[in-house]
Amino acid sequence: MSQLMLLMASSINTIMFTFMKHPMSMGITLMTQTIIICLITNNMFTIMKHPMSMGITLMTQTIIICLITNNMSYNAWFSYILFLVFLGGMLVLFIYMTSVASNELFEKNNNLLMGMVSTVIIILIFMDPALLSNATDEFLKIEITESKNSMMMLFNYPTSILTTMAVMYLFLTLIVVVKMTELYQGPLRSN
């Protein structure tokens, strides 16, 4: 418990003093909050012992990275695709772990739960009040129009051929994978 709390406190202290907007301000921006949560889940992953808890931590980490990627780019397609790829990999890992370690009990760790709750409370205390207001509406409107323009470029003439070919390739790959994994034939047949 003390090692976990010391590790979390040192992570939060380092990040708060590094990413503050101004030395005299007490508010943390949204990006800083997601980076704090990302580092805390990285530290929590080293403490986990059960495969299911490791999978949940990895999924939380993936969602946070997708949120950070979404905030840094004009459109959200890259973060959606990244999330779907990680989700597919997690499904494969979940199927593998349920076949290998199906009878292993999942024990609740109260120390870890208290550390997570205290971290969330600290983040909520230091949250910037400007994040809760509607002051960023005009900025969001500008960003949405730029996102629409970049999405329209994807379906215009020169790149529409590439997009159509990629969709056809993915559809063909889907059909091949479904045919390979039929129930009574192929490498994934049942007994």
Q: Where are the domains of the chain?
A: 2-134
Q: What is the separation of C-alpha 129 from the centre of its chain, rounded to a whole number of angstroms?
A: 24
Residue 84 has pLDDT above 80, yes or no: yes
Distance CA 68, CA 87 (A): 17
pTM for the predicted model, two decimal places:
0.50
Residue 175 has pLDDT above 80, yes or no: yes
Distance CA 150, CA 158 (A): 14
Q: Which residue has the higher pLDDT, 145 or 62?
A: 62
pLDDT, averaged across the chain: 68
Distance CA 57, CA 112 (A): 12
Q: Which residue has the higher pLDDT, 87 or 111?
A: 87
